[in-house]
Structure 1
Amino acid sequence: METLSKARISAIGAYVPEKRLTNEDLEKIVDTSDEWIVQRTGMKERRLASEWEFTSDLCIRAVEDLKNRYHGTLDDVDMIIVSTTTADYAFPSTACQIQEHFGWSDTGAVDVNATCAGLTYGLHIANGLITSGLHRKILVVAGETLSKVTDYTDRSSCVLFGDGAGALLIEREEKAPGFITFVQGTKGDGARHLYRTGLRSDLKGEKLLGAGKMVQNGREVYKWAARSIPEGIKKLLEQAKMDLGDIDWFVPHSANLRMIESICEKAGIPLEKALTSVEWFGNTSSASIVLALDLAVKNKKLKEGDTVLLYGFGGGFTYTGMLVKWGASV
């Protein structure tokens, strides 16, 4: 579906906790090894929030970073959208906690939960709200403290997850909008392969495991992503009447480097065009895409005007892919 956008990404910020969890550290916790982890995931280390550091703290630090790098004011932000699966509380929302910290009183605030697709879902919603004329400046924030819901006795999953947060500013722009087109969908019957229990512990009569911790069937998630995402990329390009040569950067959810390699191979995207954060931050769920973008900005890879293919996918199963023109000058 082609979109008639009137919005663009205008600024970025990010934050990761100081504490590192290396593969060598994990060798002391579970039966694993640096070689095993790197071979299967590409991960080298992750960042972990401290005992008294929560998702709202990480998100606030990411917004503060954006504020310091942005060539304008955030006092006229009129909506805060936060993507997270690890909010401090069931309510109030993380977005409300960000609003309280910065004191923007004439600002809407809402959390969304689309798991690892949360950042692209947030961007999609922000683009729609601004293009419709209802809003003019929206903060889209993604933050996770997955270490607090990771089962560190499960060696197949505990090596994967890390903590972090990122923020993007979306502003109204009629002359040179940045959102080109999108694809979106859900495969709800995949829910049993990736979940965290909440108020109930069954799914269609089936007893669920986990007791509040994440449970993942990595093989099934990998198969679904490796099969469906190349199809979504093809559809995106067809809708935009573009080809792979028109894409400067591919930024998928950084779930697993081997998965990204497989997706690139099947989609025909050169691996050197993929921007990732998984090597140094692990799988940070909804925050992974913005962390990858931030690394690319700091490494002077990603530049204003570049055409970027963002693709979030995760538990649900749900996904949102989009083509955008990068608009942030920082």
Structure 2
Amino acid sequence: MPLRAQVIGHGAYLPETIWTNDELARKVETSDDWIVKRTGIRQRHIAAEGELTSDLAVAACRQALERAGVSANSVDLIVCATATPDETFPATATRVQAQLGMTRGAAFDVQAVCSGFVYGLAVADNFLRVGQAKTALVVGAETFSRILDWNDRGTCVLFGDGAGAVLLRAQGCNGGNGDRGLLSTHLYSDGRHHDALYVDGGPSSTQTTGYLRMEGREVFRHAVVRMSEAIDTALEANDLTPGDIDWLVPHQANVRIIEAMAKRLNLPMERVVVTVDRHANTSAASIPLALDEAASDGRLQANELLLLDAMGGGFTWGSAVLRW
């Protein structure tokens, strides 16, 4: 009998501090109207001084474990998707492992920026499908506020901090698209577009952390095209039509991109999980945060079909089909 990764728990954490657009307008030349019209963002959460990416990840993972009634020592694998690790090394995932009290299995990071959670799902899914692990935590966690140039209004208004996690367990299935769990994942990258979205620092290049730099129009254009392609691939791979999708759970970068994806699927916005207005872009954390919110408030129902879609720096992009 084939194995499939099913979601058995979910969790989230958002820092207590919230910065509204009006508060940002006191720090940089911008306005609430300018930000909302271009992005849909109204506020973002900002990590407190001394609050690390691993702290956010641990809180989200603990909630996922508690909701599933599973102990940390039952977990075989932690995959942490982050572009803002605590340190150059070791992996932030190992700090999460230690703080959870997990003393077995393996823990490592995946770096695909805003596509990180979809990449992490793909990695964990493959571990579970081949039997190398039975239970896995996939967490997206970011403290992007630490790599923003707060004098650059074109980027600093776009991002926020947070973490979201899912707990996956390998379960036997019939192998059809009616079975619960991850039906498929689809990953892509094109390194030729490095200069459109990157951080201008690092251990090997400048020996500094650096700041995020972005060509907004170029990223927007590629996001619409590449995320649409990833949607088409996911549907075709599972012999599905747009009408089969119950919920779109996209990366939360810009409401205009999200609306374009919904239009492609002919889905009303009421069937799209949107958190960008309150969370801003939390990079690898955005999809799991959205999943957690929709699951916690009862929107997501068992056996509904979800399409996850993301794009990030690199460029990286990808999609996943999940039956809840």
Counterpart AA for 1:246: D
| Structure 1 Cα separation of the partners of residues 5 and 65 of structure 2 | 19
| Structure 2 residue corresponding to 1:198, chosen from 184, 202, 210 | 202
Q: Structure 1 stretch 229-238 or stretch 262-271: which is displaced more?
A: 262-271
> Does 2:9 correspond to 1:18?
no
Q: Aligned in 2, Cα 1:72/1:200: closer, same or farther, shift over 3 Å? A: closer
> Does the aligned pair in 2 maintain the 1:277–1:289 contact within 8 Å?
no
Q: Aligned in 2, Cα 1:65/1:138: closer, same or farther, shift over 3 Å? A: same
Which residue of the partner structure matches residue 270 of structure 1? 268
Counterpart AA for 1:238: E
| Structure 2 Cα separation of the partners of residues 267 and 249 of structure 1 | 10
| Structure 1 residue corresponding to 2:181, chosen from 178, 194, 206 | 178
Q: Aligned in 2, Cα 1:84/1:186: closer, same or farther, shift over 3 Å? A: same
> Does the aligned pair in 1 maintain the 2:72–2:101 contact within 8 Å?
no
| Structure 1 residue corresponding to 2:141, chosen from 121, 137, 143 | 143
- Residue 201 of structure 1 deviates from its aligned partner by 4.7
> Does the aligned pair in 1 maintain the 2:147–2:209 contact within 8 Å?
no
Which residue of the partner structure matches residue 73 of structure 1? 71
| Structure 1 Cα separation of the partners of residues 295 and 5 of structure 2 | 20
Q: What is the DSSP-based 3-state SS (H/G/I as helix, E as strand, rest coil) of the residue aligned with 1:157? A: helix
Counterpart AA for 2:279: F
| Structure 2 Cα separation of the partners of residues 308 and 103 of structure 1 | 32
| Structure 2 Cα separation of the partners of residues 231 and 106 of structure 1 | 39
CA deviations over 1:41-71 (Å, ceiling 9, x no partner): 1011000001110101111111122222223
Which residue of the partner structure matches residue 59 of structure 2? 61
**How many pairs are equivalent?**
316
Which residue of the partner structure matches residue 207 of structure 1? none
- Residue 5 of structure 1 deviates from its aligned partner by 4.8
Q: What is the DSSP-based 3-state SS (H/G/I as helix, E as strand, rest coil) of the residue aligned with 1:80? A: strand
- Residue 106 of structure 1 deviates from its aligned partner by 1.2
Which residue of the partner structure matches residue 304 of structure 1? 302
| Structure 2 Cα separation of the partners of residues 231 and 82 of structure 1 | 26
Q: What is the DSSP-based 3-state SS (H/G/I as helix, E as strand, rest coil) of the residue aligned with 1:305? A: coil
| Structure 2 Cα separation of the partners of residues 143 and 211 of structure 1 | 18
Q: What is the DSSP-based 3-state SS (H/G/I as helix, E as strand, rest coil) of the residue aligned with 1:140? A: strand
| Structure 2 residue corresponding to 1:320, chosen from 318, 321, 324 | 318
| Structure 1 Cα separation of the partners of residues 42 and 168 of structure 2 | 32
- Residue 253 of structure 1 deviates from its aligned partner by 0.6
Which residue of the partner structure matches residue 205 of structure 1? none
Q: What is the DSSP-based 3-state SS (H/G/I as helix, E as strand, rest coil) of the residue aligned with 1:232? A: helix
> Does the aligned pair in 2 maintain the 1:86–1:146 contact within 8 Å?
yes
CA RMSD for the aligned pairs?
A: 1.6
| Structure 1 Cα separation of the partners of residues 132 and 299 of structure 2 | 34
- Residue 263 of structure 1 deviates from its aligned partner by 2.6
| Structure 1 Cα separation of the partners of residues 261 and 218 of structure 2 | 15
Q: What is the DSSP-based 3-state SS (H/G/I as helix, E as strand, rest coil) of the residue aligned with 1:82? A: strand
| Structure 1 residue corresponding to 2:290, chosen from 285, 289, 292 | 292
- Residue 211 of structure 1 deviates from its aligned partner by 6.8
Counterpart AA for 2:202: G
Q: Structure 1 stretch 210-219 or stretch 186-195: which is displaced more?
A: 210-219
Structure 2: state its 5+ residue gaps: 174-178
CA deviations over 1:148-188 (Å, ceiling 9, x no partner): 11110001111001000011111010134512123221111
Which residue of the partner structure matches residue 244 of structure 1? 242
- Which portions of structure 1, spanning 4 or more consecutive aligned residues, are displaced by more than 6 angstroms? none
Q: Aligned in 2, Cα 1:129/1:211: closer, same or farther, shift over 3 Å? A: closer
Which residue of the partner structure matches residue 220 of structure 2? 222
Identical pairs, percent:
39
- Residue 281 of structure 1 deviates from its aligned partner by 0.8
Q: Structure 1 stretch 9-18 or stretch 292-301: which is displaced more?
A: 292-301
| Structure 2 Cα separation of the partners of residues 15 and 231 of structure 1 | 31
| Structure 2 residue corresponding to 1:110, chosen from 108, 111, 124 | 108
Counterpart AA for 2:181: G
> Does 2:259 correspond to 1:281?
no
> Does the aligned pair in 1 maintain the 2:114–2:310 contact within 8 Å?
yes
- Residue 267 of structure 1 deviates from its aligned partner by 4.3
Q: Aligned in 2, Cα 1:5/1:247: closer, same or farther, shift over 3 Å? A: farther
> Does the aligned pair in 2 maintain the 1:5–1:178 contact within 8 Å?
no
Q: Aligned in 2, Cα 1:6/1:298: closer, same or farther, shift over 3 Å? A: closer
Structure 1: state its 5+ residue gaps: 203-209
Which residue of the partner structure matches residue 176 of structure 2? none
